[in-house]
Amino acid sequence: MRYDTALEVKSWPLRKPFKISREEHTHADTLICRIWDGTHAGMGEAAGVTYKGESAASIAAQIEAVVPQIASGIGRDELQRIMSPGGARNAVDCALWDLEAKQSGQTVWRMLDWQPHAVTTVYTVGLASPEQMEQDAAEHRDFPILKVKVGIGDPIEQITAIRRGTPEAAIVLDANQAWTVDDLDTYSARLKALGVEMIEQPLATDNDEALRGYESLLPLCADESCDSRADLDRLDGLYQLINIKLDKTGGLTEAVALTEQALAMGFDLMVGNMLGSSLAMAPAFVIAQHCKYVDIDGPLLQAEDCDHPLVYDHGRVEPFNRKLWG
Please write the tens of the pLDDT for every residue from 117-148: 999 999 999 988 999 999 999 999 999 999 99
| Average pLDDT rounded to a whole number, residues 20-44 | 90
pLDDT confidence bin for 20, thresholds 50/70/90: confident
Q: Is the pLDDT of residue 302 over 80?
A: yes
Are the C-beta atoms of 203 and 182 separated by less than 8 Å? Answer: no
Would you call 25 exposed, middle or buried from its count of C-beta atoms within 10 A (0-12, 13-18, 19+)?
middle
Query: pLDDT category, 284, cuts 50, 70, 90?
Result: very high
**Nearest alpha carbon to residue 301 among 31, 49, 26:** 26
Catalytic residue ranges: 149, 245
Q: Please give the full DSSP string across 169-210, using - where no structure is assigned.
A: -EEEEE-TT---HHHHHHHHHHHHHTTEEEEE--S-TTTGGG
Is residue 312 within 8 Å of 140, Cβ to Cβ? no
Q: What is the pTM of this model?
A: 0.96
| Residue 325 pLDDT > 90 | yes
pLDDT in tens, 57-110: 999 999 999 999 999 999 999 999 999 999 999 999 999 999 999 999 999 999
Residue 186's pLDDT is what? Answer: 97
Query: What does pLDDT average to over the chain?
Result: 96
DSSP assignments along 30-99, one per residue: EEEEEEE-SS-EEEEEE---GGGT--HHHHHHHHHTTHHHHHTT--HHHHHHHS-SSHHHHHHHHHHHHH
Indicate the DSSP class of residue 135: H
Residue-range domains of the chain with CATH: 4-105 (3.30.390.10), 119-317 (3.20.20.120)
Dist. CA 48–CA 116, nearest whole Å:
26
Q: Is 173's pLDDT higher than 70?
A: yes
Q: Tell me how long the chain is.
A: 326
Q: Buried (b) or exposed (e) across 152-171, using 16+ Cβ within 10 A? A: eeebbebbebbbebbeebbb
Q: Please report the sign of the dihedral spanned by the C-alpha atoms of residue 161, residue 165, residue 168, residue 174.
A: negative
What pLDDT does 153 receive? 87
pLDDT of residue 22: 66
Q: Is the pLDDT of residue 189 over 90?
A: yes
- Whole-angstrom Cα distance, residue 239 to residue 34? 37
Looking at the predicted structure, is the pLDDT value of residue 23 above 90?
no
Q: Residue 21: what pLDDT? A: 62
What phi, psi does 237 have (nearest 5°)?
95, -10
Model pLDDT for residues 148-161, shown as the tens digit of each residue = 999 888 999 999 99
